[in-house]
Amino acid sequence: MLRNMTSGRIGLSAAGRKLLSSLKVPREASELEAIGVSGEILGVLQAHGLIERQDNTRPPLDLYDAFNGWKSQRGMLVDHARTTAFQRAIEAVVRPGDRVIDVGTGSGVLAMLAARAGAAEVVGLEVTDMARWADRIARANGLDAVRIVQGDAGSYEAADPADVVMGEFIGMSFLEEWRHYAAFVQVRDRNLKPAGTVIPRAARLLLSAIDSRKLYYERGYGFWEAPAYGIDFSEVRESEIHSPQRYIVSADHSAIVCTREIATFDFRSGSERDYFFTSTVEFIYPAAGSFHGFIGHFELDLMPGLVLGTGPATRETHWHQSYFPMPAVQVPAGGRVLVRARTFLSPADDRMCLGLTLTGDGAGQVGDSQEAVFVLE
Ligand SMILES: C[S@@+](CC[C@H](N)C(=O)[O-])C[C@H]1O[C@@H](n2cnc3c(N)ncnc32)[C@H](O)[C@@H]1O
């Protein structure tokens, strides 16, 4: 029987907390039955203006289509170097009884590993319909600590603060998933205990100047520079210079002349603003050779002492390396290639762009170029 509560102290019951936290991210009303919230209760809350129907439970952007299915999720799962590195970090960091939030849970793999590591509650936030699969798989594996919530993670507020906030928000050239990282930052800042931990902790973005006839011919401008089969393709070269393409490649370590860091990220305190930077770095050629552009790779600090690297000398991952071709330059021994790297969003569709400009000064620095703008997608 309902009693009016016009006096006395009131607060949320355990069921009320569960309801509130599950409504912080819009979700299907029918799914709430599973946590004991009937349609009748929702009707009363709606009649009093406390909840309303929302149409944004589905992924708002094409951007997420790439993740909505097993093709891409499987691609990440079969990357053992990646997934076992996250597993090691989760097993070292998550303690029995912890509350964990996995931002962008996809197949739910990291959330389930956290539950296996002893977490009392793991909330897996996922925008795409993979949420249903993740939930189904967690149930099938008897991992009752896992709760999957579908919606944009950025608006999630937990009923109780979390001990660990984690996420795998790393795009093929690292920076593409800047929106996902922005959601991670919001979840972290709103829900992580002051002494809580994040996975991953930090990262460094690296560029290597390369000397590789093979890459230059197969993916760079090399193929267009000499007639092939007696046909002159040089017009294609000019067109590609104006709209250069990034290629995902498995580069040979011997192609690297020199590697420099162009950005660092601290995921414990940083924000997506750190993804927008300008950095000028110099590459020195110890011996005479050719400059054929850059490869991009990164180092991810998953926990103290555990670094996942994606350079050509490390174990292969699904990220491989990103090749950014540039017109070839001959470099003498001791010659220097100075490059300005900057990141920005394309005005048309907010996709992350990397602009690379060689700035030779004629005094030992070689190369001088228009900015080559690579759209990372
Ligand atoms: C790189 S995948 C990682 C999937 C899984 N955590 C793993 O490690 O295999 C990123 C996932 O985050 C999801 N995602 C990206 N931005 C999101 C957001 N703002 N809210 C919820 N999910 C998001 C994507 O749909 C995708 O499934």
For the stretch 279-317, pLDDT in tens is 999 999 999 999 999 999 999 999 999 999 999 999 999
Q: Which atom of ligand 1 is nearest to the CA of 77?
A: 9
Segment among 15-19, 112-116, 128-132, 246-250 with least mean pLDDT? 15-19
**The listed CATH number (2.70.160.11, 2.60.40.10, 1.10.10.60, 3.40.50.300) that belongs to domain 202-375:** 2.70.160.11
Question: What is the identity of the amino acid at 268?
Answer: R
- 127: Cβ below 6 Å to ligand 1? yes
Is 80 exceeded by the pLDDT of residue 105?
A: yes
Q: What is the pLDDT of residues 356-368, one digit of tens each?
A: 999 876 556 677 7
Class of domain 62-199: alpha beta
pLDDT-based confidence at residue 59 (cuts at 50, 70, 90): very low
- Regarding the beta carbon of 302 and ligand 1, being less than 6 Å apart is answered no
Q: How far is the CA of 145 from the centre of ligand 1 (A)?
A: 20
Token pair for 177: 């998933």
Q: Is the CB of 107 under 6 A from ligand 1?
A: yes
Contact between 153 and 181 under an 8 Å Cβ cutoff? The reply is no
- Write down the pLDDT at residue 60: 45
pLDDT of residue 107: 98
What is the band of 165 on the pLDDT scale with cuts at 50, 70, 90?
very high
The predicted model scores a pTM of 0.86
Point out the least confidently predicted range of 79-88, 104-113, 281-290, 367-376.
367-376
Atom 14 in ligand 1: which residue has the minimum CA distance?
Answer: 104
Let me know if the fold of 62-199 is the same as that of 202-375: no
CA distance 107 to 215: 34
CA 168 – ligand 1 centroid, Å? 7
Residue 30: which residues within 8 A CB-CB, separation 6 or more?
none
Residue scoring higher pLDDT (194 or 33): 194
Residue nearest atom 13 in ligand 1 by C-alpha distance = 104
Bridging pattern class, strands 336-345 and 256-266? unpaired
Query: What atom in ligand 1 is closest to the CA of residue 82?
Result: 8
In sequence order, which residues have a C-beta less than 8 Å from that of residue 210 and are 6 or more positions away?
251, 255, 256, 257, 291, 292, 293, 294, 295, 323
Domain spans of the chain, in order of start: 14-47, 62-199, 202-375
Residue 57: predicted pLDDT: 43
Neighbouring residues of 44: CB distance < 8 A, sequence distance ≥ 6: none
